[in-house]
Structure formats: structure tokens, C-alpha cells
Amino acid sequence: GEWMYPKQQKNPTAAELTRSVENNPEAAAARGLWGNLDFLEKVAQLNSKLKDTQFADYHGHGWIFRAVFLHDRQGNLLDRQGNIIPFDAPDKFARAVHLEDEHLRRGMQCVDCHFDGDVHGNGLLYGESRAATTIECIDCHGTIEKRPTLITSGNGGKDDLRADNTPWGPRFFWIGKRLYQRSEMTPDLVWEIPQTVDTIDPKSPFYDPASAYAKTLLRDGVHWGAVPKPGQCPRKLAHDNSNVNCEVCHTSWATSCFGCHLPMRANQRVPLNKYEGILTRNFTSYNPQVVRDDVFQLGIDATYKHHRMAVIRSSSAVVVSSQNANREWVYSQQQTISAEGFSGQAYNPCFMHTTSGIGTTKNCEDCHVSKANDNNAWMASLLGFGTGTVNFFGRFAYVAEGRGGLDAVPWTEQADPQAAYGSHLQEIAYPDDYGKFVDGGRRLKEGYHEDADNILDIQLRGEYLYTADGPGGFRVFDVANVDNKGFSQRITSAPVSPLGQRTDVPTPYATSVTLPSTLADDPLRTHRPVNEEQAVSPIYAWVFVTDRKEGLVMVTVGTLLDGDPENNFFGREKIIRFN
């Protein structure tokens, strides 16, 4: 990180930030060095000085490509034989396994997989690019049952690849049972395409026992080696093409973007980038919060991919803020909610283009409970249940202070990157601010207070803070304007009189409160079958409160998620008490 920021703190002006975002939508680039095109041109020259990462090139937005290497689950670098490489080894990156895509390593480019239909479309509109693709892995590599026909099988339609040509000759050609492909871009570059059917054939020179085991293992988990009779593979095989996408086993790593902050400012008149110069008063930057390569997760793919098992990733975890013309944050770091009521912290199936070769494919214990039963946290992450390693806390820490009420304390920078005060990131991105914080005894000096009877427990969801207030019972505070300088009282029981909003439930002595999730999942919204979404469980509409005398109290709070300001009440019919 210290190589990415100037030694002297840079505080970009509004004009500098605007110019930077025209090239790179990440606001941090205006504060760092990578907003400078000259720096980007030479970024790979830093590699000899870097201890923890290696850079490659950068793309048109100025985002820098970072090399991903093979690690074990403890974070140790591994060589091709699986041996640990010491972190202080001077040649560690030379010995480490760079997890580059196998197609890229062969010299392939985009047009060597994506042909006429993928490039020009078929005249139909699709909701996403994956739905429009014609190519599938089996169109070139075949299956365990047969070699490819070279006719595409993707959702975008059928392309006859047998008739395709490059400037140097036919794109595909067979020599006996071996399939070859010519490069579209590079003369005289030809590569052989491995055939799946050869990897399971003990008589073939391409036979691989691990491949044969994975591809022919039956559902009983014991027998393998033989291919079932035609038509029986989907029913008998554990990992048949009809229910498991190829990339599930052949993805060496996946990018996961946990949180992207989009702060919109309505006090700058700027042209819309890449939209014909139309002027707007709303200026928005795009700020990744967490980008990781060590997370691997699986889910069920979309209808157009026949609901097969697929690699999924966090790529829509958006939090939004909005500043008005008076520079008041009318909402800050709020999650979005879909029309069906699901949280906008979404996961998507994704073909990662990190196809792996021998030694870097997934093994059994990457997707199944190990024999030693020592990969439970990994399995929790794999299945999307989470492990608590990428929680988004937000700029404000809410502190329950018993009879002292509660406080909202900002503990990060307002601007992006929103570094925590006193952190290493603040030290390198905001060295002046960091110095003042350290010299001041590392004390947080800003906070917003609200009185209460005896706040014993709190939990934040969206713009509401749910509390157990001792003799005050269960109380929900409105914290929508906690970051709004236009409000003198930033934490309130309601922004209007109790006639317009009342979000408290009297109990003898509330001691704790918990929500099923801090994500905004709303089961009360209209469900449309055409969207093919699962129903949101009714449990997400409830909050659970413990009380000294009444035991467990359940309160329906789903109305705080539906966007309707006229129904923010907890009536008697919405309360269940378990004495």
C-alpha cells in the first residue's frame, strides 16, 4: 500500500476529483498515485520492491491487475508440488504457482472462444451477457461420452464452428481423433484442445486418474471408472454435465467484491461519462470496499443455464449514499432492496475465466466435508452461510451505554477510501490525519448521543437502530440522518410525532435484541412468479427480544423495510409474547 500513495497527503479539489473519475471511477485514485497515467504505465516496475503482491498491467479504467498465486487455507504460498514457500524467501514469487487462466497461457484471446454469435448477437435482447453466449466448454472439449460436434450449445443459439475460418486457415481441424485450433490473432500459433473423453480412458496417453475419478464417480460415492450407458449419466453420476457446470471444478480462484460504495453528490454539474456528454448535477464515484481472491462459493445457476451447480461470487454488494446541494448526506451507506424483497447484497453466478490446469483444480475437500471433519468453516463459506470475515460495519459505531443511553461514533474517514482512524490504511492514505489522530492520544472526539432508560443491547439494520432498553422495553430509533449535518438531533424516536410513526413495544425489562439478519430481506413485498425468485422466509419480518419477566417477545418489524412511511407502527396484532 505504501507504494500506491504519495508520501505527502493529497487532498484533491472538486475539479481534480472530477477529472480523475472521468478516467477511473474510484475516488481513491484521485488521492493515490494510480490516478496518474504515467504511474500506471510503469506500475509493473514496482514488483521487485513489493513483498506481498505482484502487479501486471491495468485496464482502461485504471484498475491494476494483481497476480494471484496458489495458497493453502492458512495463507501460505505453495509451489507446484504443494510445498510451503517461506514468506521471507527472496525468490518466493518465482517459485510460487501463478494461477493464470489456462487459455491465456496458451496464447488465446477473447475472439478465440467467443465467435460470431457472441460478438454480434442474434437479434434478441437479454438481461445479461451470460444469457446471450453461444459457447460452452463441451463445444470444444466434449464430454466423457463423446467428442465435440463443434456446434455450439449455449443459450445464445447454434454456431457451426466447423465452417469458421481465421486469416491463416480453418479455425478448427482434426488430425485423427485429436482436435486443434488456430489463433485468430497470431500467425502460426496452433494449440491442441484436450478432449475430456481421453482423460478418462486408461488406454489414452492423456489419461488422468484424478480426472477419471471426478468425472465417473457414481452417486454412491464409491464406484468409479466406467461410463454409464447412454442416457443414464444424469441419474447415476455424481458430477454429470447436466447438474454441475465444468467451471465448478476447473476454476482456480474467484474474485469476490464485498461492498462497493456509491456516494452521489448533487452539487456538481458534470457531463455523464460515456453518455454523449449529457449534463447532470449528480456526480457519483465507485468505490470497492473489499476485493478478495480466497473466497470460493457455489450456488444454483439461472434458468438459461438449466439450474446447474455454478461458481457464484459477491459482485452486487452495493451501499449507496446521497449528498444534496447543501452538502448534507440525506442518506449514508445504505443497502438496496430488490423488487422481490431481497437484499441488494447479492450473489451472481459467474464464469471467472480462471480455468486451471493440473495441480490447481478443485479437489474433493473443496466442496465436501473432509474425512477429518476439519473444514467446517470452509464449507460454511462455500455454501454461502458466511464466516464473519467480510462484515460491513459502516462509518458509525453504535455504542450501548446502559443508563447513559447510546452514542453513534464515526470511526472512519468520510471520503473514500474510508480508512479507519489509526489504521495502516489511514497512515498511508491520510498521513496528516493519521498523525493528528495519534498525537491526540488516539481518541475519537465526535459522537451523537440519545438518552434512554437503560440500553443493554443494540443492532443496526438499514436506517433503524433496534434496542433493548431495560424498563423502556423494545425501542427502535431512527438513525437515517446520523451523517446529516442539517440535523441537530441526529438520532430520534421518529422524524414526526407519534401519530405518524411509533416504533416501540413496552415490556417489563428488555434485556437483549436480535434480528435474523442485518440484511434488508423483506418478505412482505409482492412476489411475481415470472421472476422465478424463491420466497423470502417470513422470519425476516420479525425481531426477537428477550425480557426478564416475559421471556421471549417477537415483534413484526417488516414494515420498516417496505419503503412506506405511513405504516411504521407496531400494533398488538404484530406482537407475540412467550412468557
Query: pLDDT tens digits for 304-348?
Result: 999 999 999 988 788 999 999 999 999 999 999 999 999 888 888
The answer to whether the CB of 32 falls within 8 A of the CB of 4 is: yes
175 secondary structure, DSSP code: E
Query: Model confidence over 491-510: pLDDT tens digits?
Result: 999 888 888 999 999 999 99
The reply to whether 554 and 455 lie within a common domain is yes
Closest CA to 313 of 259, 357, 355, 363: 259
Please state, in angstroms and as integers, the Cα–Cα distance from residue 199 to each residue in 20, 102, 403, following that order: 50, 17, 69
Share of the chain above pLDDT 70, in %: 99
Residue 175 lies in a domain: yes
The reply to whether 416 and 498 lie within a common domain is yes
Buried-state track 530-553, b at ≥16 Cβ within 10 A, e below 16: eeeeeebeeebbbbbbbbeebeeb
Output the pLDDT for position 345: 85
CA distance 30 to 187: 41
Residue 105 clears pLDDT 80, i.e. is over it: yes
The verdict on whether omega for the bond into residue 506 sits within 30 degrees of 0, i.e. cis, is: no
The reply to whether 375 and 441 lie within a common domain is no
Output the pLDDT for position 283: 85
Output the pLDDT for position 231: 86
Query: Rounded to 10 degrees, what is the CA torsion of 482, 487, 489, 491?
Result: -30
Sheet containing 190-193, strands listed edge to edge, beginning at the edge strand earlier in sequence: 172-175, 178-182, 190-193
217: Cα within 13 Å, side-chain hemisphere: 13
CA distance 288 to 318: 9
Output the pLDDT for position 214: 95
Output the pLDDT for position 432: 97
The reply to whether 437 and 322 lie within a common domain is no
Share of the chain above pLDDT 90, in %: 73
Residue 79 lies in a domain: no
Output the pLDDT for position 504: 94
Closest CA to 561 of 500, 503, 497: 503
Instruction: Grade residue 431 by pLDDT with cuts at 50, 70 and 90.
Output: very high
Query: Model confidence over 2-60: pLDDT tens digits?
Result: 999 999 999 999 889 888 888 888 999 999 999 998 999 899 999 999 998 999 877 77
Instruction: Grade residue 259 by pLDDT with cuts at 50, 70 and 90.
Output: confident
Instruction: Grade residue 571 by pLDDT with cuts at 50, 70 and 90.
Output: confident
The reply to whether 248 and 377 lie within a common domain is yes
What is the grid cell recorded at 497? 410525532
Residue 497 lies in a domain: yes
The reply to whether 188 and 253 lie within a common domain is no
The answer to whether the CB of 244 falls within 8 A of the CB of 250 is: no
The reply to whether 473 and 509 lie within a common domain is yes
CA distance 327 to 305: 46
- Average pLDDT over the chain, rounded to an integer: 92
The reply to whether 443 and 543 lie within a common domain is yes
What is the grid cell recorded at 504? 416501540
Residue 455 lies in a domain: yes
Output the pLDDT for position 15: 87
Residue 64 lies in a domain: no
Phi, psi dihedrals of residue 284, rounded to the nearest 5°: -130, 130
The answer to whether the CB of 178 falls within 8 A of the CB of 194 is: no
CA distance 401 to 212: 61
The reply to whether 255 and 117 lie within a common domain is no
Output the pLDDT for position 240: 94
The reply to whether 337 and 417 lie within a common domain is no
Query: Model confidence over 507-547: pLDDT tens digits?
Result: 999 999 999 999 999 998 988 999 999 899 999 999 999 99
Query: Model confidence over 217-237: pLDDT tens digits?
Result: 999 999 999 999 988 988 999
Instruction: Grade residue 549 by pLDDT with cuts at 50, 70 and 90.
Output: very high
Among the candidates 388, 407, 424, a domain finishes at 388
Ranked by mean pLDDT, which of 50-54, 278-282, 290-294 comes out on top?
A: 50-54
Query: Model confidence over 464-481: pLDDT tens digits?
Result: 999 999 999 999 999 999
Residue 90 lies in a domain: no
More confident residue, 274 or 28: 28
Residue 273 clears pLDDT 80, i.e. is over it: no
Closest CA to 420 of 434, 408, 403: 434
Query: Model confidence over 367-410: pLDDT tens digits?
Result: 999 999 999 999 999 998 888 878 888 999 999 999 999 999 99
The reply to whether 379 and 476 lie within a common domain is no
Domain that holds residue 157: 104-207
Residue 81 lies in a domain: no
Burial tier of 462 (Cβ tally within 10 Å: 0-12, 13-18, 19+):
middle
Cα R_g (the chain), whole angstroms: 28
Output the pLDDT for position 309: 96
The reply to whether 189 and 282 lie within a common domain is no
Output the pLDDT for position 454: 97
Please state, in angstroms and as integers, the Cα–Cα distance from residue 388 to each residue in 266, 312, 320, 385, 520, following that order: 35, 18, 22, 9, 17
Output the pLDDT for position 314: 87
The answer to whether the CB of 453 falls within 8 A of the CB of 471 is: yes
- The number of folded domains in the chain is 3
Output the pLDDT for position 351: 92
Q: What share of the chain is helix, strand, coil (3-state, %, to 5)?
A: 20, 25, 55
Instruction: Grade residue 118 by pLDDT with cuts at 50, 70 and 90.
Output: very high
- Say what the pTM is: 0.90
Closest CA to 299 of 319, 315, 279, 286: 315
CA distance 224 to 449: 65
- For residue 130, the surrounding DSSP H or E stretch is helix 129-132
Among the candidates 207, 242, 259, a domain finishes at 207
266 secondary structure, DSSP code: S
Q: How many helices (H) and strands (E) does the chain have?
A: 15, 31
Residue 382 neighbours by CB under 8 Å, 6+ apart: 296, 297, 298, 366, 367
Residue 321 lies in a domain: yes
CA distance 12 to 26: 13
Residue 579 clears pLDDT 80, i.e. is over it: no
Amino acid letter for position 210: A
Place of cell 423502556: 472
Mean pLDDT of 441-469: 96
Among the candidates 388, 417, 451, a domain finishes at 388
Instruction: Grade residue 358 by pLDDT with cuts at 50, 70 and 90.
Output: confident
